[in-house]
Amino acid sequence: MEQSGGFPGLEGKRVAISAGAGGIGLAIARVLHRNGATLAICDVDEAALKAASVELGDCLALRCDVSDEGQVDAFFDAIEAQHGGLDALVANAGIAGPTGKVDELDPAEWRRCLDIGLTGQFLCARRAVPMIRAAGGGAIIHMGSAASKHGYAYRTPYSAAKFGVIGLMQSLAKELGPENIRVNAILPGIVDGPRMEGVIRDRAAQKGVSYAEMEAEYLKNVSLRRMVSMEDVAASAAMLLSDHGRNLSGQSLAVDGNVETL
């Protein structure tokens, strides 16, 4: 039965969301909660976790750095203990990474960006898949970016991680499809919010232009000439996890207003 939020098949589904206490992750959690899903969220911001858990019906909420295998294991062990299993995963955690010329990048910052944005998604999928398999199937969403399909000058670590996400998703879609596990990626474009503000500010400083000039330069490369909202991304995630997405797998859904180039 379709719920008031408009996405059938989410009622009672057990969904884990990494970086679920803020930004896109929280926006996804909110729409899933409205549609009756049972949520488990993790994040590195403990204060945000507490607030999000209350808002989401006192859902399971644990601190977890997804680049740390032990912390990821503890999160999924808690899901198993409290919810008895899992039906879906939204591997959402990632960081913007450094901005700079390739010969100026700190290798430690490079590794940190890939450890969170790519290896973290693998570590979450590694633990989620046996639980989703035991439930008879389900769905996984990997969070990519417009930078998953465009090279991104001066943001090399971020783009490399997000290109890797597509390879991970497509491989898992082939591997897990026969077990009734659908795997897709969402590729947000220029998302209105604090993270994008920071990216634009850093890029403006790197180029020696104003924030307004840099923002205009970003938007001129978007066919619709506007940013997307976190709610746009969340609605797409809900669709993929719902019965509406039951035959969608191996897809990269760009929610970006058609980013032409970065």
Residues assigned a catalytic role: 158
Q: How far apart are CA 186 and CA 172, in angstroms?
A: 15
Q: Are 160 and 148 in contact (CB under 8 A)?
A: no
Q: How far apart are CA 63 and CA 183, in angstroms?
A: 25
Sign for the pseudo-dihedral over CA of 211, 213, 218, 223: positive
How remote is the C-alpha of 119 from its chain's centroid?
13
For 142, the 3-state DSSP assignment is: strand
Q: Are 28 and 17 in contact (CB under 8 A)?
A: yes
Q: How far apart are CA 54 and CA 56, in angstroms?
A: 5
Strand partners, 182: 139
Q: How far apart are CA 232 and CA 6, in angstroms?
A: 14
Q: Are 65 and 80 in contact (CB under 8 A)?
A: no
Residue 255's nearest CA partner among 143, 122, 88 is 143
- Using CA atoms of 189, 9, 48, 66 in order, give the dihedral in degrees to the nearest 10: -70
φ and ψ at 41, to 5 degrees? -120, 150
Count CB-CB contacts under 10 A for residue 98: 19
